[in-house]
Structure 1
Amino acid sequence: MTVFMRIIALSVALVALQATGVKAQEAAAEGSVAADEIRLKNGSRVIGKVTDIRDGVVTLETDFAGAISVSMEQIVTMTTSDPATLLLADDTVIEGQGIEVRNSQLIVDEPGVPEQSYALEQVLIANPEPWELGEGYHWTGQVGFAFAVERGNSDTDELDYKLETYWRSLRDRYTLKMDAQIKEANDQKIADNWIIQGKYDYFLSDITYWGVNVSARSDEFKDLDIRYLVGPYIGRDFLTDPLFTLTAEVGASYVNENFIVAEDRDYAAANWYLRMTSDYLGGDSQLYFDQRGIWNLDEASDVIIDTAVGLSFPLLWSLEAAAEILWKYDSGAGEGVDDLDETYRLRIGYSW
């Protein structure tokens, strides 16, 4: 009986050992299949999984440091295991093969075609989205809300809401923006204003575009029933590095203003738009500055300027928060109405 039990125990041990060996081989095989390799000019070797190539930077997911970024200028060789689609600077699209780089040259080896090579800096994007290949539009946007409730000597309720959405293709872009505020104190409305803006941009180059701007605005407690604006403009992305971006637009427009009490008017105007952003603080946060202005060409002292300065930062999933200061200046505000409104708010939003 004892011998029989020993034989059974030995058999079980052998089976377990064999199963462990098979699993180890499978794990090793999986690891070798998943591993991509990059060798740098300083002799370093990085092993991981290439997840993105964009703007001259290769992103790898590694076991030892998570996601890391490598400048393509530092790469001597690179091999990836999975097929990829590559978009080059001359609009060439390479599909159906792993990425192979030798001596800082992208090697393309297609069946029945002599081997070709391209300078690595010619690679713009790996696995581009359809819109980046000229197919359709890329839709992005953000909707946000800010609430304020005060109870005590006075009961105050405030709701601010904001919408920004964009449809972008290689040749043009559509923009829709809306910003509104409703405020009550002791059950009496003390603020009710909104602005909605639509824009169309046509790109003359990667960074220069012309467009048409249409907007409408209302502010009950500044005697403004509605203000319409329409006109063309030209814009340029002067700086595009995420560390500091700068976009500016300047144009001309026709403005029509209908007031609740004051006399209605219309005039020709110059208008401008400035946007600056920076990811200097890191952590996917963004500092931003937005300014939109209208200058009455019939009355030089009449100017309207809306400015927003803030910091946005991610929360969970696609939620984000923003702390911002808003200044709304109108030198032509009616009698008894302040020229400048200043608002501090903490906004919660959803981005897509």
Structure 2
Amino acid sequence: MLKKIFLGMGVLGLCFVLGSGQGLADEIVLVNGNILTGAIEKLEGGKLTLKTDYSQPVEIEIAKIKKITTNRPIDLYLVSGEALKGKIATVEGGKIAVETTPGQPSRTVELTKVAGMVTPPKVPPKWRGNIALGASMQTGNTERKGASVGAEAIWKSEADRFTGRFLWNYAEDKDDITARNAYGLLKYDHFFSKQVYGYLALEAYNDEFKNWRLRYVVGPGVGYQFWDDEVKFLLFEGGLAYSYEDLYEGQNKDYLAARLAADFRYKFGKYLSVGDQLVIYPSLEYGGEYTLRNEAYILSPVGAGWNLKLSNIWDRNSEPPPGIEKDDFLWILALQYAF
């Protein structure tokens, strides 16, 4: 007798569990009349993913869905950026009713205005960067003035990253030009994992005071991304490069070099950021020769996307042409706008 009682209780418990599971299942009714049940995993790119117990996750185009019903609260993310949470049910006119608070009137939204369900929608990649303007003027015993324009733009998706940088600098003293140079970088990165990537980089220089009409360095390599978030950024790169120097005076020069690079940024709270970008090209054909460029900076926000930026740029050529110094140091105080 006791055995029968326990057996009966087990059967009732099993029925309760199965009944509860079915009651909590999300239900999707298609325009062709088919009914699917399971758990909504996500809504992304115009497709809803439904996890079921009887097959692999099913992707359903929103246009083919007639009705959605859930007996559990789920997260909804609207295209406006607003987030809602509650049980949902399709009502007339292609809209869904969201019961955000039990016993209160439901919130009605158009299904086409829903960007994501359960998980937040992926934010499409977009360009970000900055433009910096610097200027200086000194009058009296010395008539000196200078200007600089710099820019950086970066586009990044899960697998790819494009980087562009530019800097133009000019200075004169009593109408005599004392500095006029330009620097540019174009780089493409393809990520094989979240941290390892391959790259192709092109850097170009123009500086008549270094006897460079045009110097460009191009080549592939690999990199490792240690950090990449709103607070910290760190990567190291290594590869090969072909260097060509078109000189104002003397014989042009080309050679094969290695490329070693690092990029570091760190944000201290809301009011101070520091960074350093280093690249070294050791020659593989002329032993002991190398060129180096290092840009270190301090950044402090002043409001509305504007920042005050103090930079120090160190350029070094271990074997410059006769009459040219090995090292150049440039200080720039600029107003920078970030976008």
Pairwise TM-score range, normalised by the shorter structure:
0.5 to 0.7
Contact 2:195 2:226 in 1 (8 A): yes
Instruction: Tell me, in whole angstroms, the C-alpha distance in 2 between the residues paired with 1:284 and 1:203.
Output: 32
Query: 2:160 maps to what in 1?
Result: 172
State the alpha-carbon separation in 2 of the partners of residues 340 and 220 from structure 1.
Answer: 15
Q: Give how far 1:291 is off.
A: 0.7
Q: CA deviation at 1:191?
A: 0.9
Query: Is 1:340 matched with 2:327?
Result: yes
What is the rounded CA distance, in whole Å, between the counterparts of 1:295 and 1:346 in structure 2?
30
Q: 1:99-178, aligned counterparts within 5 Å?
A: 99=85, 126-129=120-123, 131=124, 137-178=125-166
Please report the TM-score for the alignment, with normalisation by the length of structure 2.
0.65
Quick check: 1:224 aligned with 2:217? no
The CA distance in 2 between the partners of 1:332 and 1:242, in whole Å, is 40
Quick check: 1:85–1:127 contact (8 Å CA) kept in 2? no
C-alpha distance in 2 between matches for 1:96 and 1:315:
29
Contact between 1:85 and 1:126, CA under 8 Å: does it hold in 2?
Answer: no
Q: Does 1:313 pair with 2:288?
A: no
Tell me the SS of whatever aligns to 2:209. helix
For residue 98 of structure 1, what is the aligned residue in structure 2? Answer: 84
Letter in 1 for 2:297: G
The answer for unaligned runs of 5 or more in structure 2 is 1-72, 91-116
SS at match of 2:142: coil
CA contact (8 A) 1:199 1:214 kept: yes
Which residue matches 1:351?
Answer: 338
The yes-or-no answer on 1:193 pairing with 2:181 is: yes
Give CA-to-partner distance per residue, 1:116-173, whole Å, 9 cap, x none: xxxxxxx9974542x2xxxxx4111111011111112221111111111112222212
Q: Supply the distance in 2 between the matched residues of 1:297 and 1:124 (Cα, whole angstroms).
A: 55
The yes-or-no answer on 1:251 pairing with 2:239 is: yes
Residues 243 and 197 of structure 1: CA distance in aligned 2, closer, same or farther (over 3 Å): closer
Q: 1:83 aligns with which of 76, 84, 87?
A: 76
Please report the RMSD computed on the Cα atoms of aligned residues, expressed in angstroms.
Answer: 2.8
Note if contact 1:181-1:193 (Cα within 8 Å) is conserved in structure 2: yes
- 8 A contact 1:199–1:211 mirrored in 2: yes
Please tell me whether Structure 1 or Structure 2 has the larger radius of gyration of its CA atoms. 2
1:244 CA drift (Å): 4.2
Question: How far did residue 184 of structure 1 move?
Answer: 0.8
Q: Is the 8 A contact 1:176 1:198 kept in 2?
A: yes
Q: Give the number of aligned pairs.
A: 240
* Aligned equivalent of 1:19: none
Kindly tell me: are residues 155 and 239 of structure 1, through their superposed partners in 2, closer, same or farther at Cα, counting changes over 3 Å?
A: same
The one-letter code matched in structure 2 to 1:259 is L
How far residue 98 of structure 1 moved from its aligned partner, in angstroms, is 3.3
Alignment partner, residue 190 of structure 2: 202
Does structure 2 conserve the Cα–Cα contact (< 8 Å) formed by 1:212 and 1:231? Answer: yes
SS class of match (1:221): helix
Query: Which contiguous aligned blocks of 4+ residues in structure 1 show a shift greater than 2 angstroms?
Result: 80-86, 95-100, 109-112, 123-128, 239-245
TM-score under structure 1 length normalisation: 0.62
Q: Secondary structure at the match of 1:261?
A: coil
Change in 2 beyond 3 A, CA 1:124/1:226: farther
Partners of 1:284 and 1:236 lie apart in 2 by 28
The answer to whether the 8 A contact 2:76-2:118 is kept is no
State the Cα deviation string for residues 82-118 of structure 1 (Å, max 9, x = none).
83279xxxxxxxx997358xxxxxxxx6769xxxxxx
Code of the aligned partner of 1:316: G
Provide the C-alpha distance between the structure 2 equivalents of 1:173 and 1:81, rounded to a whole number of angstroms: 34
Residue of 271, 278, 285 corresponding to 2:266: 278
Query: Residue type of the partner of 2:157?
Result: S
| CA distance in structure 2 between the aligned counterparts of 1:348 and 1:198, rounded to whole angstroms | 23
Percent identity reads 22
Once residues 196 and 167 of structure 1 are traced to their aligned partners in structure 2, the CA distance between those partners, rounded to angstroms, is 17
